[in-house]
Structure 1
Amino acid sequence: MNIDSAAVEAFAPSGTLRASINLGNPILANRDPQSGEPVGVSVDLARAFAQCLGVPLELVVFDAAGKSVEAVSDARADFGFFAVDPERGETIAFTAPYVLIEGFYLVREASPIRTNAEVDQPHNRVAVGKGSAYDLFLTRELKAASIVRAPTSPTVVQTFLDQELEVAAGVKQQLEADAAKAGGLRLLGERFMVIRQAMGVARGRGELAAGVLREFVEDMKRNGFVAEALERHRIAGASVAPLE
């Protein structure tokens, strides 16, 4: 990519590029168990983007998606990694997605709920991570069931268990891992949504910045970087989004 000085200034006016990293989605970012440092697909992309701009990188780390969005919207970070959502789109200019992730429901083995269509009933309470893509989507889509918001996405299943709720919603892989640890739980047989994971910059940074980020994401998909990152971090259940 040929990136001019105006685009670099738009992204990193301080001279350092600040990437908002959400550890609430373990498919894309986590902490290395030995070093404690953030690692993952989004961290790899952040480093690659900083190299393209020719500036040093600072990782601004959060435990929930909502906090990560707010940091970019409030200029406490220069760009970030988010699930595409129309509400977030009011302040964030998204790229096309680089990864697609499935959202599933989890229930107890003894639950009478067998299909997604049975979730949206007045007697059901659904646990979601506060401010997550699932929270935003289900807040719009569920008409009868009530939503209980866990502090972060990784705490959804514990909230579901502690409060004896009827349903938990989240990333398929996270739910599967939590179900294996807790026992007596099962996922419903079909996804309720596909999460389109993208990069994003505050709309206030201008169209030049948004265009550069969009081009970067397409390049990273085209040249195999995203696919290699998913393989390197041994991520199952997520796929590279098609070129746009």
Structure 2
Amino acid sequence: MTNTLKTLARDGILRVAINTGNRALVQTNKGTLTGVSPALARRLAAEVGAEMRPVIYDGAGKVFADADKDSWDVGFLAIDAMRARKIAFTDPYITIEATYAVRAASRLVDVADVDTEGVRVLTAKGSAYDMHLSKTLQRATLERLGTPPDSFAAFRAGRCDAVAGVRASLEGAFGSDPDIRILPGVLTAVHQAMVLPHRNDPRITALDDFVARAIADGFVRQAVQTPEG
């Protein structure tokens, strides 16, 4: 399996798409990428004997949009049926929660309250929770804007009644803001996987084995609990 994965690298370099918009998976510590996704990227690069070269994105939608542009060799994205028409997924290495942030004075107190007539929901374009909301919202109005940081900034500035996001990212953006609350409950559980940029790439089997080993030996659990850096 390792010999198969070695072919992902070119000239000793493994280009890895890293989405810094998802704080549950990626953090930055004094200029160094930390968190479970960078940890897995470094482990994979070490296993195949290559230099890990991060290709930085600030939103999952941008990672997906570049899949057919030869911009990266391996990446990390939430599993989604629409995306699976274009790219190849491993089994998930972690499941994270998405929810909403609302203003402190809002009448919305739980995730279930948001899908109501007259409520405007802001989401990051192309994110996993954007795709989920596109399918499930029936009464509220959905608006899309750029990356998670873009949507968070617009919400803070007064746009919409709620903003969707990964719970860790929402906590990082609004946790110390007394004017904004993060709702209890789960909007959707997001299954995060490693990906290859082409749907029918046979090397996904070897990459799936890599993920399974990283889970089985406790590497993923340790990386989540104690981010490197």
Q: Structure 2 length as normaliser, TM-score?
A: 0.91
CA offsets, 1:94-131, max 9 Å, x none?
A: 11111111111221222122333331223111111222
CA offsets, 1:16-62, max 9 Å, x none?
A: 21100110101211322x3x232221111111111222222211111
Q: Which amino acid aligns with 2:6?
A: V
- Which of 24, 27, 49 is 2:24 aligned to? 27
Counterpart in the other structure of 1:233: 227
Counterpart in the other structure of 1:142: 137
SS in 2 for 1:18: strand
1:7 Cα offset (Å): 4.2
Structure 1 residues 188 and 56: CA distance shift in structure 2, 3 A: closer
Structure 1 residues 215 and 153: CA distance shift in structure 2, 3 A: same
Matches within 5 A, 1:87-166: 87-166=82-161
**Structure 2: distance between partners of 1:143 and 1:165:** 17
More helix by share: 1
Q: Is the 8 A contact 2:88 2:200 kept in 1?
A: no
Number of residue pairs the alignment of both structures matches? 228
Does 2:221 match 1:222? no
SS in 2 for 1:181: coil
Unpaired stretches in structure 2, ≥5 consecutive residues: none
1:139 Cα offset (Å): 1.2
**Structure 1: distance between partners of 2:15 and 2:214:** 19
Task: Out of 17-26 and 170-179, give the one that drifted further.
Answer: 170-179
Q: Is the 8 A contact 1:69 1:80 kept in 2?
A: no
**Structure 2: distance between partners of 1:180 and 1:3:** 42
Counterpart in the other structure of 1:77: 72
SS in 1 for 2:22: coil
Structure 1 residues 74 and 190: CA distance shift in structure 2, 3 A: same
Unpaired stretches in structure 1, ≥5 consecutive residues: 235-244
Coordinate RMSD, CA, aligned:
1.9
SS in 2 for 1:175: helix
SS in 2 for 1:120: coil
Q: Which amino acid aligns with 1:3?
A: T
Does 2:2 match 1:8? no
Q: Which amino acid aligns with 1:8?
A: K
